[in-house]
Structure 1
Amino acid sequence: MFFTLPLSAATISAIGGSTWSNTPPALGPSWDGNPPGTAVDILSGQVDEYLLSGGVPGMFSFSAGTYNVTLLTEVAGYAGSNQLGWAPLSNLATFNPIFDGPDSPIMKQTIAPLEGWAFVINTGGGDVFSSSSIDRFLAMRSAGSTNGWSVGVEDLRSPTDYDFNDQIISVEAVPEPTTSLLMGTALIGLALLRKRYTKR
């Protein structure tokens, strides 16, 4: 018998004074038209909290753990060349690809970083990180959610159309069995097996 418990460490962490707010940032105008509109428009009714710093999308990272990352939509002139990946906080130069330019929604990848990590977007003009770049990644969630988030990505450095719909992804922390619980279950199984053979 196996039980699974969510690892409390698998979560998002605000950086640089970013805090959750139920007031969305003022995004737009979108160069891509309306519809589809901004990330806030597209996810209307699905999210109601936004990670902001001074009223604009703030910085964040994630802790070690297993995550399902799904590309929900991509509305970008650079859709064919944008690369989204993750990098460990200890070495942001290490790019681990998640979605490449030719990838199309809806597509899901599972990643399992062994340490804290950040999202990276590369549009050919250099890497931009969710952990150190304000106003480029918009983290969103349903109120109080501790294991699921949405992220809107703005791929332009400057000028920007400020719509955060160039990529919209969902991030879900995957529950994992704890080592101690698995070991305990295994020991119980061995004890029952030994008892069974002792009776014979």
Structure 2
Amino acid sequence: MCKKLLAALLAVTTTLGLFGCGGNEEAPKEDKAAEPATEKEPSGTDYLPVEMMSREETKQLTAGTVIEVDDLKAMPDERVLDDLDLAVVYRYHNIETSEDGSENEYDHKMAQPIDLSADGTETTTLSDFTVFMEFTGIEIVPIDHFDLNDEGQYEKIVKIDENLYESAGPVLSEDKISKLNGN
């Protein structure tokens, strides 16, 4: 009798163990599929502030305003800038160092932010020279004109250099979009 009881307990324990292992094996798969990813993947623009200026602060900005990286605590509200026919351009400083040690330094602007490391810098080594790039701040510029893209969205076009125009992204202000549509 003792052997039968022991055999029955062993059978129940084995069955529960197998059932439990099978259940444990399936549960994480279901949980992983149902749960959204909680880790934030680096966007390449983590060097930019995540806070936004108030509507009033943004309205005080004018074309030609430069905000250096050390003073940039919040980004302008693009919807407000759209209504003012203004946009943000991103300023960068580059140092190209050749194999012989000679350096070429220059500053440039971009209508969209460049992907850099979280501290706003990036060093790229090529076969015959190295490029160090550093984010230096933003500048407020007038919107030159608006274009309709392939998706039917209006984009802000800004002048970057004498003959260089770039899209500063889609128009975000609903009021500006209504005006552009003639409403």
TM-score under structure 2 normalisation?
0.23
Larger relative contact order (C-alpha < 8 A, sep ≥ 6)?
Answer: 1
Pick the structure with greater CA Rg: 2
Higher relative helix content: 2
TM-score under structure 1 normalisation?
0.21
